[in-house]
Amino acid sequence: MICVSPGLVPDAVCHALIGCFARHIRHLGGADDQPAFAHRVLRLGQLSVAAPAGDRSVRQMRAIRWLVTERLREFFRDPGIHPEETQIVRWSPGDGQPLHLDMTRETTTYAAILYLNDDFLGGETFFENGATIRPRTGTLVGFHGASLRHGVRTVVAGTRLTMPIWFTDRKGCAEP
């Protein structure tokens, strides 16, 4: 099953998150456990520690994380899921990802992608079952990331920005 929620987050909030990414990626995005994502990933955990006082970005990301969590709990009828990792990710021309399962952390169950923009070519999310989702600003796509193979078609032009969130059923592994 794939949860698709068009317009879940207003465009203005998505654009504010893009601004947050632009402000913080230089000093927070250099180190990543996956070298292919260095300078492309801004983690909520890093931002929570490093953002200057008064920066609304952390509150916005947490509020969206809560909204997405509640939407997935409702859709999948699973009240026991908890956010495990929240990021903002930049995909430039030439970037894509083949079919895969979310197995970086053995505790991951569900995955969600919030599209922050749609002014680019390519970059569709695709699934082994043949489903393809064209990104639209503010749209959420949620699925069982640990068992439904999925990928990202190569970005052809422009920059794709997303807010992926991974979930776990282990409360002790939840992101603060």
The pLDDT tens digits for 19-36 are 988 888 776 655 555 555
Q: Name the residue with tokens 């601004």.
A: 19
With a CB cutoff of 8 Å and minimum separation 6, the contacts of 35 are: none
Q: Percentage of the chain with pLDDT > 70?
A: 90
The pLDDT tens digits for 81-109 are 999 999 999 999 999 999 999 987 888 99
pTM of the full predicted structure? 0.91
The predicted structure's pLDDT at residue 5 = 97
Q: Percentage of the chain with pLDDT > 90?
A: 68
The predicted structure's pLDDT at residue 113 = 97
